[in-house]
């Protein structure tokens, strides 16, 4: 329920951004995006752009996106992994967990680029927290992924630990090569959110939900172990 609600909220906010036009959309990014220099420094926005306090942009920035690809990729990851994490802790806890991971992601990026005047927007940091939690809950679950081999495209099932581990390694490498305050992808926010998800999941999950769970078995495999089909 919360996963679907978050996806719906992000889509509605994006449609609102698009309805403002190019200039209006850019103004909204500065009004509601998290600007490190405004949050941690003395930078101020023009009065006409100030819509919420600087601290509140940590939350508003999570629901804004810079384009359809940005929105689509974040929502795809949230759709795939979010429901499992929501099931492990319940609706209310999941919402708090998601927002907490987003806050950790924004602060990680902001602390490392306090003088940056570049607004940070997107659900990537909060979604990265969901991925970090998934690694600890379902490391051996298989994920169906597209693999590009030159001009050939194939699909394969790979363990979540491998798929998300490769993704996290990519974030680390890109973060090492990109100064935190530069325009572009906020790689440090992804890293901060992912680590926050791994740290927080033991405290948010229900007590009867174990970490490092075995992969799900399909129903027919379970029945086959029990005996002949009836």
The number of beta carbons lying within 10 Å of the beta carbon of residue 201 is 24
What is the domain-level CATH number for residue 77? 1.20.1540.10
Rounded to 5°, the CA angle 144-160-82 comes to 85
pLDDT for res 58: 97
* Closest-CA residue to 62 (of 150, 126, 128, 153): 126
- Residue 219 is predicted with a pLDDT of 41
**What is the number of domains present in the chain?**
1
At 82, list the tokens.
């979010």
Q: How many CB atoms lie within 10 A of CB 16?
A: 14
Q: How far apart are CA 96 and CA 86, in angstroms?
A: 11
pLDDT in tens, 124-152: 999 999 999 999 999 888 888 887 777 77
Structural domain contains residue 224: no
The confidence score (pLDDT) of residue 229 equals 44
Q: What is the pTM of this model?
A: 0.88
Q: Is residue 225 predicted with pLDDT exceeding 80?
A: no
Q: Is position 63 within any domain?
A: yes
State whether residue 206 is helix, strand or coil. Answer: coil
pLDDT of residue 183: 79
- What is the structure's pLDDT at 230? 40
Tell whether 48 is covered by a domain. yes
Q: Would strands 152-159 and 142-149 be described as parallel, antiparallel, or unpaired?
A: antiparallel
pLDDT single digits (tens) 17-36? 999 999 999 999 999 999 99
What percent of the chain is helix, strand and coil (3-state, nearest 5)?
65, 10, 25
The widest CA-to-CA distance across the chain, in whole angstroms, is: 73
Residue 41 — very low, low, confident or very high, per pLDDT cuts 50/70/90?
A: confident
More confident residue, 7 or 229: 7
Looking at the chain, how many residues does it have? 230
| Residue 229 included in any domain | no
Instruction: Confirm whether 11 is domain-assigned.
Output: yes
Structural domain of 10: 2-137+160-205
Assess if residue 118 is contained within a domain.
yes
For the stretch 46-95, pLDDT in tens is 999 999 999 999 999 999 999 999 999 999 999 999 999 999 999 999 99
pLDDT in the model for residue 226: 47
Domain contains 147: no
Of 193, 213, 210, residue with least CA distance to 202: 210
Helix (H) and strand (E) counts for the chain? 10, 2
Across the range 221-230, mean pLDDT stands at 47
């Amino acid at each position: 329920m919360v996963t679907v609600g978050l996806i719906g909220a992000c889509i509605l906010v994006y449609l609102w951004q698009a309805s403002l036009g190019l200039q209006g959309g850019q103004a909204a990014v500065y009004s509601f995006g998290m600007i490190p220099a405004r949050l941690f420094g003395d930078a101020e926005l023009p009065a006409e752009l100030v819509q919420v306090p600087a601290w509140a942009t940590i939350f508003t920035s999570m629901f804004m996106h810079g384009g359809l690809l940005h929105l689509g990729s974040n929502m795809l990851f949230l759709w795939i992994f979010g429901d499992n994490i929501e099931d492990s802790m319940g609706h209310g806890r999941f919402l708090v967990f998601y927002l907490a991971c987003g806050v950790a992601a924004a602060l990680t990026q902001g602390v490392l680029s306090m003088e940056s005047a570049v607004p940070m927007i997107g659900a990537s940091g909060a979604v990265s927290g969901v991925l970090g939690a998934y690694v600890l809950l379902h490391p051996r679950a298989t994920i169906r992924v597209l693999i590009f081999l030159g001009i050939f495209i194939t699909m394969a099932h790979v363990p979540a630990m491998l798929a998300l581990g490769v993704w996290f390694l990519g974030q680390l490498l890109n973060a090492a090569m990109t100064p935190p305050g530069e325009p572009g992808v906020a790689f440090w926010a992804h890293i901060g959110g992912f680590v926050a998800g791994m740290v927080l999941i033991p405290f948010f999950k229900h007590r009867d939900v174990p970490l490092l769970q075995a992969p799900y078995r399909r129903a027919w495999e379970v029945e086959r172990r029990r005996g002949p089909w009836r």
